[in-house]
Amino acid sequence: MSAGCDTSSTGPYAEFEIDGQPRIDPLEVARTEQQHEVGLMYRESLPSNGGMVFVYQRQATEGYWMHNTLLPLSIAWIDQNGTIVDIQDMQPQTDDVHFPAAAYWYALEVNQGWFVEHGVGVGQQVVFCLGN
């Protein structure tokens, strides 16, 4: 889902196809199983418009938890076409497992409340510019 990437950008980002086109930048990319397991654990801060996208090579249904994650986060699960299928808030340092409402290809974590603050919701589209 790298169509329409802004070539002047210095790194990966996610942009939402809604009014104002809010952008997550900087965007960290977790592609490997090891990167998925660590995610944003142990971080004491995250830039206000920053986040991490978890990229899967196949459709996934696994849940996410906040074990050793110090920051309150919101997560959006996104299908292969870039449609948000679910968004949930997650509390720091909990072992509660958050399962999405539908299968996904991408999971996008941001500071808790970022999606609400920017008018991003279920059913909306996101375009990723992930680079190599």
Q: Kindly list the domain boundaries of the chain, sorted by start residue.
A: 13-129
CA distance 61 to 81: 16
**pLDDT (average), residues 77-93:** 97
Percent of the chain with pLDDT over 70: 92
**pLDDT (average), residues 98-110:** 98
Any idea what DSSP says for residue 98? B
Q: What confidence tens digit (pLDDT) does each residue in 5-50 have?
A: 766 666 899 999 888 889 999 999 999 999 999 999 999 999 999 9
pLDDT of residue 2: 47
CATH top-level class of 13-129: mainly beta
Distance linking the first and last C-alpha atoms of the chain: 12
Residue 128 tokens read as 């990723």
The sign of the torsion formed by the CA atoms of 20, 22, 25, 28 equals negative
Q: Model-level pTM greater than 0.75?
A: yes
